[in-house]
Chains A and B, each alone.
Chain A
Amino acid sequence: MSEKIRINDMVVRFANVNGTGSSSSNEIFSKAVFRMGIPVSPKNIFPSNIQGLPTWYEVRISGKGYLGRRDDIDILVGINPQSMEKDIASVRSNGYFIYDNTRQLHDDMIREDIHMIGIPMMQLSIDHYEVPRLQQLFKNIIYIGALATLINLDLDVVKAIISEQFEKKPKLIPPNHKALDLGANWVKENLNYPLDVRLEHSNATGDKIMMDGNAATGLGAVYAGATVLSWYPITPSTSVAKNFETFAKKYRVDPETGQNNFAIIQAEDELAAFGMAMGANWNGARAFTATSGAGISLMNEFIGLAYFAEVPMVLVNVQRGGPSTGMPTRTQQSDLLPCAYASHGDTKHVLLLPATPTECFDFMADAFDLADQLQTVVFLLSDLDLGMNIHMTEPLSWDDARKFNKGKVLNKEELDAVEDYGRFKDVDGDGIGYRVIPGTHPSKGAFLSRGTSHDPYGVYTEDGVVHAGEIDRLIRKFNTAKELVPQPEFYQKENQGKHAIVFFGTTTYAALEAMDILEQNGEPIDAMRLRAFPFSNIVKDFIDAHDTIYVIEQNRDAQCRSLLMIELGIDPTKLKSILNYDGMPITADAILKQLQQHLHDYDGLQPPDHRQNGSSHSLKTTLL
């Protein structure tokens, strides 16, 4: 059962019971790997439940810097009897299953083709700690200590992280360190170590940071000057609001008066959450709300109002598995179309598509500028994987010379100079009128914002020609948006072939890995990462320059492909789909496998059969 030694290339999966404190010890594990200079990508695979159900924490460790998921599990630390049978089955052949042998494993569970490593985790904890609750918590640290020895994770690094975490409760440091040693020493005394899959110190993490997207989004809103947040709890967006609150309390409390330079309201529902943020934006503050799936559906009427009354609005959608309540704790990119065309009537909205926490921060700040410039709804389309999982990402940066762009807003003096003010008059030809914030001028510039049809002065009209003129102006405005939004990213200096892949958001991690594998096989492929909607001409030019485009996305209906067809008039037969919608982040394997199917037997009209992640060990790619 021996194989060649693999350094800094493994998937470790922890199988735990939720509500037992395992996630903090698992996070210590992934942070320690990161501190050793090895790229790491943890995924928290949790149930929509508070206590007692299976939860997994999967850590991809890749010296090459691949941050997408990989299917084959090298090491599974199986702590949960509920899921043990499936957990054992999920280990790759020749892999390792590490379990608590305080209670003996049933014979049926034994797999001959993997290494079964029993460690008396609970027994060690019972022997050294008295309080039952602490026995449970320290067991989590004991298995980290044991695993550390087995894979050469630097125990000093782990200890340093624990010391930092308990900086304010120093009494907790020694017993935690002791638990680590208990696990580590038991392995040293009883087992052969290290395993064939192991770690080595590296320097592949540079100045990167470890952060989740929702924290970056919340911080981005603070930097963008958002003062009003109204929100309604919904997984997986809740932590956007919580992070905004944490950062605001840290950086936005007046040191002299103790008063808040922000207001946060937990609304009664998503409709109110949107209405409040929109009302605040209308009145000249910067405000936003954050939600997910069902929340977007509920907000639809208000989205149309903000669109038609042309009120700036920033709306964060941390997408989760749909339809309906769907999979609240799994990831998807299935709200692209519902957001692009949200609300009844002819509506179109700006979407920003971040792929990393760093982009969550940057795009969130941009979203407020864009909303103010364009006087419309701007969506930040994140997803559960991006929002709730910690990612290795570029450090956050802020240019102190950057000024908030509040768009076209007239002050009192400017209003006095205007002869015939009309809220929606397209003076500059870009489809964008001039706003006046309530309270600006005693006798000029007031208007009644409304969702009913209005003329360029904001006055109610049932005149069809006037109405159509205003609707057309909104398209002029949308065209203006094309050049203002983040432009696509390319990965090749110049186009190299007839085929190309297009992707966005968290699909990027797996797509980059797939591209790397193709390049190593001597078959490099052109690629474009979309970063926003509406699409600019650059997007169309890239698609026009290739014969076939493979659009990779994490939904069933190939929504991005549809959007490209609808908005750019691309021939449908030219756009082929690579999809995943099982709720888990897409893998490079899944991309390559579907790509291969397309090249051999796919008619280009329907998605191919294998639309979920699934392991394939002997992957051959023959692209051209």
Chain B
Amino acid sequence: MSYIKPTFRHPSSTKNEAGFYRADYEGKISTLCAGCGHDSINASIVAACYEMNIEPHKVVKLSGIGCSSKAPAYYLDNSHGFNTVHGRMPSVATGANMANKDLTYLGVSGDGDSASIGIGQFVHVSRRNLNMVYIMMNNGCYGLTKGQDSATADVGSLSKSGSTNQFSPIDMVGLALELGATFVARSFSGDKTQLVPLIKAAMSHPGFAFIDVISPCVTFNNNKGSTKSYDFVRDHIEATSEFDFVPVKEEIAVEYAAGSQKTVTLHDGSHIQLSKLNPDWDPTDRSSALDKLQKAKTAGEILTGLLYIDPESDDLHSMLRTTDTPLNELSQDVLCPGSKILEEVNAGLR
């Protein structure tokens, strides 16, 4: 196996509007297992950033610890990244975002990293509505330590070692909805047509955008009896709608029959277009999303697609009333009150 990534670029590849080739969004060669769902997600991230015409250095990629959290090395090599500590990516993302509101913050995490050790930070970053994309690569197990059950493993799911999980799973999508997350979606690593536009919409959403991506672990949790295997997920997947993301400048091209579609306009003028809508669900109504999720669960379906979006989302910066200039660009003149003020302070302390 080669560890050297070829620099060859296909002659027909083209630059995007920002002037970058798709290869400019790629990373180092992946060291994940062949067939790992995470690598498909990495490819979707590359595609979404390329298609969004984001300059690579305007993205910050962050992660915690685990297989999924190794991923930032495998995409966006021209972006700064921070591979933090286990379960604490959200806090580092929060601080980074506070320092510079103008960059796009893309956090990836796993189900161990998010639903167990990091559930506290996940909960609080959700309720603060930090402007970031949070992708949880969900394989139901701890891959890097050889396949122990995670907190998202379903009751009755059989592990490769033959043990059956007995504990109630944490549905991070349901949790995020309860916590007030303003963009909640679920997808499948094997469904790029759904995942890429979801990531693009999440990047355009001004607030906390959570995507739970089911991403089978080919080595430790792809066996018969596992509810996170490729076969099981493909058999039980149920999409809320067909989904497309339409950037600011583009016209909405495809028209569907009235009543079966919905267009959500985001702050920046871009649109999310949902078609073949499920009649008992409105993506801008949190309680209908929760209801839909619950019904799918009862029916044994894995509900994917956009579940909820709040088009009026106000992110943490607007709640804190921070200045329009990124805080890391404020000059000393603005920040330091100077000696005269200090004289006044002294006088008040005598």
Contacts and interface: CB of A to CB of B under 8 A. Distances in A.
A280 interface: yes
Given A283-B96, A287-B95, A441 B57 contact: yes
Interface string A403-426: 110000000000000000000000
A283 B339 contact: no
Contacts of B120: 268-269, 272
A222 B102 CA distance: 23
A442 B54 CA distance: 10
A267 B127 CA distance: 12
Contacts of B95: 228, 230, 275-283, 287
B93 A279 contact: yes
A446 B328 contact: no
Nearest to B335: A225
A272 B320 contact: no
A222 B332 contact: no
A439 interface: yes
Given A262-B327, A269-B120, A439-B102, A282 B350 contact: no
Contacts of A223: 336-337, 342
A398 to B, nearest CB: 5
Interface in A224-266: 224-225, 227-228, 230, 251-252, 254, 257-265
A437 B92 contact: no
B32 interface: no
Contacts of B339: 397-400
Contact of A279 (B94, B320, B327, B332): B94
Classify the secondary structure of B's interface with A: helix
Contacts, number: 225
Given A210-B350, A223-B337, A257-B323, A278 B99 contact: no
Contacts of A263: 98, 317, 320, 322, 327
A285 B342 contact: no
Contact of B99 (A34, A209, A279): A279
Interface stretch (B79-87, B145-153, B203-211): B79-87
A224 B123 CA distance: 32
B338 interface: yes
Contact of A449 (B82, B320, B327): B82
Given A210-B350, A283-B99, A446 B77 contact: yes
Interface residues of B, number: 62
B332 A251 contact: no
B92 A446 contact: no
B99 A284 contact: yes
A403 B100 contact: no
Contacts of B323: 254, 257, 259-261
Contact of B98 (A211, A285, A397, A449): A285
B85 A451 contact: yes
Interface in B66-87: 72-73, 77-85
Contacts of B84: 275, 305, 451
A460 interface: yes
B330 interface: yes
Q: Which of A396, A438, A449 has the most CB of B within 10 A?
A: A438
B254 interface: no
A398 B332 CA distance: 13
Contacts of B96: 279-280, 282-283, 438
Given A228-B98, A228-B99, A302-B88, A450 B320 contact: no
B60 interface: yes
B321 A258 contact: yes
Nearest to B324: A259
Given A254-B323, A276-B92, 14 more contacts: A222-B336, A230-B94, A265-B316, A268-B120, A272-B91, A279-B95, A282-B82, A305-B85, A309-B82, A396-B346, A403-B332, A438-B60, A446-B77, A448-B83
Interface of B: 20, 24, 28, 55-58, 60-61, 72-73, 77-85, 88, 90-100, 102-103, 120-121, 123-124, 128, 316-317, 320-324, 327-328, 330, 332, 334-339, 341-342, 345-346, 349-350
